[in-house]
Structures are given as structure tokens and as C-alpha cells.
Structure 1
Amino acid sequence: MGESMKVGIIGLGKISGQYLATLSSRDDVEIVAVADLDAVRAEEVAARTGATALSVDGLIAADGIDAVLNLTVPEAHADICARAIAAGKHVFVEKPLALTVADGAELVRSAEAAGVLLGCAPDTVLGSGVQSARAAIDRGDIGTPVAASAVWAAPGHELWHPSPAFYYQSGAGPLFDMGPYYLTALVSILGPVARVFGHTSRSERERMVATGPHAGRAVPVGVDTHVTAVLEHASGVVSTVTMSFEVWATRMAGIEVYGTSGTVAVPDPNRFFDAVEIFTAESGEWASLDHCAGHREGGRGLGLIDMGEALREGREHRVSGELALHVLEIMESILEAGRGRRVVELTTTTRRPDPIPHLPPPRT
């Protein structure tokens, strides 16, 4: 791969706009091809970006593409990744890595055997918010970490999304939709998880689309909509996690890490740049911390950029397939533990990703 990583994008739905905004500002990434099941959409994006519109099969087979950015629906993640890996291309995929740990593990094995890199969202952990919180914890600002809590809760996506049905089917729900942001942040900050206990449930509340052309249509619910778990990290730190589509209001949202001499409030892991707050036994009050690590600018796509830099520098990339597989097993194990009301031992682990120093704005 040369100085500029040549990228083909498969899947041009709503999230692709955020990736395009980040990647188009770089001189070390070149979007050379795009593909979507909607050929008209692909042609429109190609016209805006200067890329070539191809079929999905054509893009996977095309020469001159270093990496495939897979932004398809979750059900297609494993298939598209596997085909791109078999074609000798590096891959970065939206979360989750796959719908099952078995499929995710096969992708990791295939990428290693093919000598290509596999990365997976979320890459929000590379932003200055989570990275600065991690830096404060690593340098001992709150003493030794003891525990953490992570809460994301809302009444349901049907209240704002015009086509919310997929959020209530396999591969989604509050855990698979929002869990990767929180779990990836927890693993990045506190290290891998060794075992989990979980509880899952769903209410009998009828879900109705509230906006758009399908307003008033019932939404079938095929997943549990309230998930609570206890995670024991390999370090001994214990995290409690709640992900829910059943909560109308809460004052407990977010991540907090509790240490022997203070608490760090980690910014929203679905965002890149929110403020970090700290309370110490010495100060006796909350204070904001200056951002001191991570990317100061950018957005979705930073993980793909980090992958390209890792290839050029001969280092490990940070939001790897190994990390995503571990997060996927945490989620799958939470559901398994919830069904059986038992503790589940994890079979995967991951290295804690390298921290990021405070980086300047991207090259343009």
C-alpha cells in the first residue's frame, strides 16, 4: 500500500455520510469506488465523491482497492467481510463484527491467514473524550480502579426513527445497537473481561412507529429490550452495565469509573469529544479535565485511518477485529447468562489497545 490507502465502500445508508465527511478531508485516504444494492444511490454518491460506482461483486473483485469499508446492515457484515478478505483486501466494518461469535471468530482467523487487517467500529474510543478519561485513570488521578458503571437507556427508537423495525430484531436491540460503544470503551479503559452475569427481559408494551410514512404501524419485538449485566474484568475490576429500550427518563446515563481516591465521569462513548469530569477525595468536588489525549478532530472513520497508519508504520491497529470479537462475545455471553441465570466464562480475550497521544487536526 502506498502513502494513500485506496478504499472501496459497500453500503451507502445514513451512516455512510459521517464516514465520507471524515475520510474526504484526508490526503492519506482515497475513496476510489462505492457500491450499494440501490444502484441509483451508488451513482449519486460516486458523482459527489469522484469515485466509481460498481456492483458489490465488482467492488470486491476490483484491482486497485486496498481496503473495503463495510457499512452494510448487520446481517450482511460477516458475508461481505469474508468475501473481501478472500479477495485479499483489508476490511473495516461497522459494528457489530458479526451476529455470532462463531462467525466473528472465523473472520478473525481468515484475516490472519490471508495476511490482511480486520477492523471494526466503534472508533469513537479514539477521540479525545474517551482517550483523555483513560489517560487520567492510567496516570492514577483516581487511585486504583475498583469498579465502573455504564448506563444507556431510552424508551425506544420507534419514537424518532421512521423505519425502526430492525432495531427490534436479531443483531440489534439495546445491547447490540448501543452496547458496542460502552463495552469497547470499558475494555479500552479497564482491559478485557473474564466472565459475565446477565439478566434480560422485555415488557409487553406495544411499540408503534411515531414519525414518518409508517407512523402508527406496529413494530414486532424479537429481542429483549432491557439488559443488565455484571462484568468481571481480568484485572479484577467489576463493571455493571445496563442497556435499555424501556426507560423513559434517567439521571444515571453514561460511564463512571470508581477508584480508591476518586471518580472519573467518562464522556458519551458514542461521541468523540465530550468533556471529562473528575471528583477526587482531595478536592471534594467535581471538576472538568482538559483533553490531553486522542484525536482532537475527526469522526467516524478514524478507525480506518488508524488501520492505514498502522500498515505504513508496521504497528498494531487499535480498533481491531480481535477487540471487536471480544466485545461480541461479551454481548453474546450476557444474553446467554441472562437466559440461564448463570455466570458465563469468556473464551476470547484481547490486548488493551495502545493509548493515543493528543494528536493535531488531520492533514488536509
Structure 2
Amino acid sequence: MNPKDTSQHTPKEIDSKLALRLVTGRLVPLKTTLEISARYSVVNVYIAAVFPTQKASAALNLAGKLVPNDGGLNLQHLSRFAKYAELPETIRTSISSTQPPESPFLEHNAKYFIVGSTVAIAEQDLIEALSSVLDRVLVYTAPVPLLAPTSQEQATLWTSKYWRTTFNKNHSFGPHPHLLSKGEEEIREDVAKWMNLAAEVARESNKTGSGEELGVVVIGRWNGIARPIAVAGDGRWLDWPREGYGNVTAHAALRAIGMVAEGLRRKEESEQTQGTIEEGIFQDQPYGVIEKELYRPSEGSDGYLCHNLEIYCTHEPCVMCSMAIVHSRFGKVVFGQRMPKTGGLCADGDLGHGLFWRKELNWTLHAWHWEFDAVGPGADFDGNA
């Protein structure tokens, strides 16, 4: 099949096809690498009993001198004190196994507190120091969550398993919850439309032999009105630069970014070449009917490349494309099918890169997985008719 044969569709047919393939689903915010690591990271700390309880303040002050700043840890998500009755069952069992039944340390209102990391001071040195302010000393070693919880459910689980834990919804493990919710509200009404368009251009790309069945749509939103700027299917099988070879870098996301960049270049240089596009390394020129029909090179971002633009992908972008999306400074990214072995956005896949929100990179953006429920008659979301 001729890879540049675009007779498969006409613009009017495109609209009717999209109407038949409306996807229903929900937007699921991606977890950041910190949110994922928070599930498993624990650190051993000293937990000391306070006897008598009236000396709690003196014991806490001494601990602050012995282990400044909790030994370099941030344990603000953990309550400093807890009563014996509030301790997890595992800790109570361990303490009770070393104490006689009448021990004051086993009373419901007996106080315990977190002293600090076990690597900051030797246990015997701690016991000797606490003996100067407490009548009786009991020190216990236990694991506690190193990072703050990312949900109230997680805080409740950790309270029952480790130590009294509090959840702060404003804790910065990723996008601020308010901003993320606002961004989701902004795109929710038309996300299915753009995901359908991405799926349609993916089908066209595959049917014309241009590449794999992958598609991307870049959206600009002005005054609440969203419009496509660039639409791209996969182009890695196009015969470039030599007959019979193709270009392994011509992924749909890179092609779409290249189209936006071309439009921005024209805009900045005020070139009057609306009908001609130079061929770039990423095949960043529209080939198919859908790509040509919806390409608007003059409507790119007003800022740095793709700043504030949205990108919708049929599949989770690979590591290469994910980095390109980050460096191009998109505002939002939505993808349909997770790619755990090759994707670069998810933090909970086999690779675990979570590239959409890594503080060591030059940009962060809001990212969602579109979990679709069903599709209308004609095809499924992956384009299998």
C-alpha cells in the first residue's frame, strides 16, 4: 500500500466516524514517583515510654538535644506522642511480652513518644540519657513510614500498622490537589472527543501503511474554547530517508511536537509559507487527510513551544516521547492505554520513571490516564473494528 495514500477518509467522513466512536470513561490522575515510593519506605526509630507521664515535656526536650531534627528525617506526618491503647497491635504485643502484667507501661493511658532515627544515637546512650529525666526507662525500636501518606486511606492503614499518622492534602508529592482538580474540570467535557480523534488518526496511519496504530492530538484552549492545533499518527514506516527503511524516531508524539514547533517558527519569523512545510527528521509534516485538515500552524502556544497546550495520546508515550513532552513544556497530557514495559509517564509501571512529575527535570505537568468504559458501535478504542 502506498504510505501516502490518503483516499481512505474525507473531512465529512471524519466527523461522522467520531460521532460513532464516542468513548465514555474517567480521568485518573497519575501517581508521582514520590507517591509510589511512599507506599513502601519505612525507617526504624526509637520509641520511648514516659514514666511518670508528667515528665513528657522534659523527655521530649532531652530527645531534641540528643537527636536534633529527628536525625535528619522529616516525620511531621507522625504524631509525636501516643497512648499505649493507640499503639498498633504489633507494638503492644512486643512491649507486653517483655513486661509483667501489672507494669505501668501497659496501662491504657501510658504515654509513648518517637525519639528519632536509630542511626542517630546508640540505644544504650539513649537509655542512659533518658534515665536522667525519667524514673523508669523503656525504649523500643519500631519501623515508621518515612514519607507522608498520599491519602486519608493510607494514613488510616499506617496508623493501624505503624504509628498514628496524619494526612495533609496539601503535602507536595505532586500537583497541588486544587490545581489538579481545576485542570481536570477544564478538560473533562471534551476529553472523549480528543481521545476519539487521536484513535481515528491512529487508524488512518495504520491503514495507509505509515506506521503503528498510534495517534496524538495537540489542543490549544483559549477563553474556554478548545481547538486542535496538530494531529499526528505514527510515521515510522514512511519511506524516509531511503526506500524501504523508514524512521524509527517518527513517533506520533514527536511528529505532533514537530508540527507545533514548525508553526511557532513561522509565527516568530513571520514567514509567508503557509502551503509549504520543510521535511524534518521526525516526519513533522501532515500526510493524512485528518492531519492536513486539522493542522493549524498559526495557532501554537504564545509562550515557550507547547507551554499551556494539551496533548492527548492513544497510548502512554514511550520514554523518548515522554521526555520530549516534558521538555516541550506541555500543560496537560492524557493517554488511553498504559504501556508498562515501554511507557515513560507512569511511576507504577515496570520502568517506574514517572517523567511527568520529576523535580530534577526542567518541567512538570498534569497527567491523567483515561480509563474508558465503553465505545459506541464501529470499533473499540484501540481501533480494532
TM-score, normalized by length of structure 2? 0.21
**Higher Rg:** 2
